[in-house]
Amino acid sequence: MRARELGLPLTGTTGPDNAITDVPGVEVGYTTLVGGDSVRTGVTAILPRPRAEIPLPCTAGWYSLNGNGEMTGTTWITETGALRLPVMITNTHAVGPVHRGVIDWTLRTHPAVGAEWMLPVVAETYDGYLNDINGPWVQSEHAVAAIDAAAPGPVAEGSVGGGTGMICYEFKGGSGTSSRLVSYGETTYTVGVFVQANFGGREELTVCGVPVGRQLPKGDPNSERRADIPPGAGSVIVIVATDAPLLPGQCTALARRVPLGLARTGTAGSIFSGDIFLAFSTANKGSLAAGFPKGEPGYDHLRFIPWNRIDPFHSAVVEATEEAVLNALVAGRTMVGRDGRRISGIPVDRLVEMITRAG
């Protein structure tokens, strides 16, 4: 089940699948690597546009709440406000092969783009508690496979893709997603959020305003505590997508609202956590394309929602981010990994009981 299906009093109206894929054209794919006693990792691919249109740029912006992490390609997004190619998420030490995998996939599927230069966006969080992060488990072909597996519709959550070995509020975390519908005049737009949740200390955890983390058990009595990692460490990557027409600066503004949604779940933002967020708009298809026909200077055009009408989209990001984190937690299942380390899934029945008791 997902957080909303548990009866948690979450706000806002979701899209049909309550996922980032509710934004038309956006697709999600995974490669999940679980093997032996110590391989617990993977790759997540988010396609901003359908495969045939993937070279067409989206307006985009990004924001870092705390920089103890990595998201490649962001300096070019700052420079141009444009994003193209799949967005990838993996573990901290696998950024290189995943970056190469995006290049390999693009060379195969869009050779004209491959003939140019490419600056793929690859983000990471640390899964070294459950996963042998220094092993060569993630290869470029796993990134290619995740892109090839990308599809619209419902999105698997929890211990899948890049979220396979991740931990959130000292419970099993991982991949989570949610969406919100925003009415604008006679048009309804969608804001979708995807999180790779690997952050937070147990005592911080708050659900629907209730400080549940202080009341939940401190850990599985049969497991080793995360003594080698400070509480709150780990990182969180959040990708925001929308079909609303936005300027690059407005996408940046959406990315800056992500921390407000994370804060609803309790985090104060640990210095040991890389909290990095990307937002893009799939509208204005064909704008921001590189160059014009030779010898013919031209102009580009962007249609956008006025700044004084942007607040409902900010609220959608906050609400969907909160729910995406809770979905990742609810989907988490107890996992045993490297050196026999064990991370328990959140006790869902106990969680519901506490929320109900709090009214």
Q: What is the mean pLDDT of each run of 10 residues along the chain (359 residues)?
A: 95 98 98 97 98 96 97 98 97 98 97 90 97 98 98 98 97 98 98 98 96 80 56 92 98 98 97 97 90 69 97 98 98 96 95 93
CA dihedral 174, 96, 113, 254 (to 10 degrees): 40
Cα–Cα distance, 129 to 132 (Å, whole number): 8
- For 313, the enclosing helix (H) or strand (E) is helix 311-331
Considering the candidates 38, 175, 273, 315, report the single residue annotated as catalytic: 273
Q: Please list the residues that pair with 45 across neighbouring strands.
A: 29, 88
> By the 8 A CB rule, do 57 and 287 touch?
yes
Q: Please list the residues that pair with 188 across neighbouring strands.
A: 183
> By the 8 A CB rule, do 169 and 329 touch?
yes
CA nearest neighbour of 141 among 107, 113, 84, 102: 102
| Cα→Cα distances 183→17, 70, 257, Å | 18, 34, 19
Give the per-residue pLDDT at 222.
43
The dotted CATH code for 3-287+306-350 is 3.60.70.12
Cα–Cα distance, 255 to 130 (Å, whole number): 29
> By the 8 A CB rule, do 163 and 175 touch?
yes
Global pTM?
A: 0.96
Cα–Cα distance, 254 to 80 (Å, whole number): 17
CA nearest neighbour of 264 among 207, 343, 338, 202: 207
Considering the candidates 38, 178, 235, 270, report the single residue annotated as catalytic: 235
Residue 320 structure tokens = 């969907």
Based on the residue annotation, tell me whether 275 is a catalytic residue of this protein.
yes
Phi, psi at residue 92, to the nearest 5°? Answer: -55, -40
What 3-state class would DSSP assign to 189?
A: strand
Give the per-residue pLDDT at 294.
59
Residue 31 exposure: Cα atoms within 13 Å on the Cβ side:
23
> By the 8 A CB rule, do 324 and 194 touch?
yes
Considering the candidates 22, 127, 243, 275, report the single residue annotated as catalytic: 275
Based on the residue annotation, tell me whether 235 is a catalytic residue of this protein.
yes
> By the 8 A CB rule, do 241 and 20 touch?
yes
Give the per-residue pLDDT at 226.
54
Give the per-residue pLDDT at 296.
72
Residue 32 structure tokens = 């999940």
Give the per-residue pLDDT at 354.
95
